[in-house]
Structure 1
């Protein structure tokens, strides 16, 4: 075991070498080797956009009431984008990225 991230190392499982990775998924959250949130925030914003695009028929329909569109956005799209965010430190960068996503979606 090592704490030096620059040192190349592998772990053996059943005589097979498993290489070190910079990112790993666990419970739909992206864990970074250096502990940063940048990759996780990008992943969650991308997931929010995917959900928004899947609901584009609702958002662009002129016959759908704005109140319903707002409820769909708040309950589905925002929930997907903010999944796990309660564990993130509230930095200005994270807030800015989420604010930019929301502003672009609500145009």
Structure 2
């Protein structure tokens, strides 16, 4: 059955009419009328990204070790990223989004590596990032 987009849906209770809301934010989480968690995950990633980049002035200093930067980043940005994640219905696409964000943070913390064979700087591979983060 095709939805009529132009028709305004309303609920009437005791002579009071209430409109239908397609999306709203409740306790920091986005609730959709079709229960699409992808919107919520993208929103959480954007918030965690802002949180991580707000820490760069402090964590980007040369006298702070990579280990301390990683621990501090995990302590502050992961709760922002994973808030209410237990209510998400996990899909491969959402796991991919989260993995891409995590690799982005690791690349920012650990930086590029000089490849002796190529005689040039290159981005670290995902498996190298995972080894450094563990």
Q: TM exceeds 0.5?
A: yes
Secondary structure at the counterpart of residue 24 of structure 2: strand
* Aligned equivalent of 2:48: 48
Give the structure, 1 or 2, with the largest relative contact order (CA under 8 Å, sep 6 or more): 1
Cα distance 1:10–1:80, how it changes in 2: closer, same or farther (>3 A)?
same
> Any conservation in 2 of the 1:44–1:80 contact (CA below 8 Å)?
yes
Q: Deviations over 1:7-56 (max 9, x none)?
A: 522357xx986543321111111001111111101110011011011101
Determine which structure has more spread, i.e. the larger CA radius of gyration.
2
- Other structure's SS at 1:95 match: helix
Tell me whether 1:81 sits opposite 2:117 in the alignment.
no
Corresponding residue SS for 1:106: helix
With structure 2 as the length reference, what TM-score do the two structures score? 0.66
Decide whether the 8 Å contact of 1:48 with 1:80 is kept in 2.
yes
| Correspondences of 1:51-66 after superposition (within 5 Å) | 51-66=51-66
Whether the aligned pair in 2 keeps the contact of 1:44 and 1:82 (CA below 8 Å) is yes
Cα deviation, residue 5, structure 1: 8.2
- Whether 1:94 aligns to 2:100 is no
Aligned length: 103
- Could you tell me which runs of 5 or more consecutive residues in structure 1 were left unpaired when the two chains were aligned: none
Does structure 2 conserve the Cα–Cα contact (< 8 Å) formed by 1:58 and 1:69? no
TM-score, with structure 1 as normaliser: 0.81
